[in-house]
Copies of this chain bind each other. A is one copy, B any other.
Amino acid sequence: MARIGKLVVVGVGLIGGSFALALKEAGAVGRVTGVGRGGRNIRRALELKIIDAAGAFDRATFADADLALLAVPVGQMRVVMRAIAPLIGAKTVVTDAGSTKEDVIALARRELKGGLARFVPGHPIAGTEKSGAESAFAGLYRGRRVVLTPLAGTEPRALALVRSAWRRCGASVSELQAREHDRVLAAVSHLPHVLAYALVDQVARAKNAKQLFSFAAGGFRDFTRIAASHPEMWRDICLANRRALLAELARYGGELQRVRKMLERGDARALHALFSGARGARDRWLKDAQ
């Protein structure tokens, strides 16, 4: 691939910072400039050598960039795109790491103007419940999937650059239509996050919350691990993808209704079939994923 001479990362958190570190480790990038709203986080990113310089929303930062990664919560995407549209150079490729794609594409169509053909919508399916530059590490994307959802008019060169950058991070890259991406992620990521947040909320709002938590164990901890995720990021994701998420929530409501009826009629056979079927499906998934 064409080595990336200058990379600009907007939002040097877990996702943006790990992208920079992975490309550095692979020797695939020259200079990395970080842009962010939190002065302390950017200073920490400099100390940790995740970025080489702190930039700003100005021409000096963006005009000579080969690639700019927008790794900000989906709710900040519009402001960021509007800010960079007049600043990026004629060759600057822009990509994002947003967890939803239809809404990001809609924003890009409105805000990126001439830069739209060099915009490659992307979503690295990786992360931990941690956030901030402190949490970034070079291995985050190794063996993980990255989905790109290019537009009909996306320049092949731009798509190739972004695909190759993610591959250099160790990721496996695939392409989907944006709408399909959003539906799939609603089912296997956005719904579980909402379910985990909702369960913790239910326990926390109970009159005997303290007692309940005192008897919660490892199963509860793992089930709710994703409820430790960044609330602002997940608020934005849920709102951005709310159509698909509401459809999945409705399906899940139906699923729980089925379970309720099995319990009400004491249907041991049906419960066992559901539980063992689910265990089997999960086992096969984990086996296939290896």
Contact = CB atoms under 8 A, between A and B. Distances in A.
A231 B279 contact: yes
A203 interface: yes
Interface in A135-157: 144-145, 147
A225 B227 contact: no
B278 A197 contact: yes
Given A216-B285, A226-B219, A199 B203 contact: no
B227 A278 contact: yes
Contact of A216 (B188, B226, B264): B188
A238 interface: yes
B238 A271 contact: yes
A228 to B, nearest CB: 6
A224 interface: yes
User: Copy number in this complex?
Assistant: 2
B200 A219 contact: no
Given A197-B278, A235-B271, A285 B144 contact: no
Interface in A80-137: 125-128
Contact of A192 (B223, B235, B266, B274): B223
Scoring A144, A145, A268, A281 by chain B CB atoms within 10 A of each residue's CB, the highest score goes to: A281
A226 to B, nearest CB: 4
Interface residues of A, number: 86
A249 B270 CA distance: 17
Given A184-B212, A206-B187, A282-B200, A268 B217 contact: no
Contact of A246 (B197, B219, B264): B264
A252 B256 contact: yes
Given A202-B251, A223-B222, A272 B235 contact: yes
A187 to B, nearest CB: 5
Contacts of A277: 201, 204
B263 A245 contact: yes
B144 A217 contact: yes
Given A204-B277, A224-B282, 17 more contacts: A125-B215, A192-B224, A193-B219, A195-B223, A195-B256, A198-B274, A200-B281, A213-B289, A222-B225, A223-B225, A227-B282, A228-B279, A231-B272, A239-B263, A246-B260, A246-B263, A249-B256
Interface of A: 75, 125-128, 144-145, 147, 184-185, 187-189, 191-204, 206, 208-209, 211-229, 231-232, 234-235, 238-239, 242, 245-246, 249-253, 255-256, 259-260, 263-264, 266, 268, 271-272, 274-279, 281-283, 285-286, 288-289
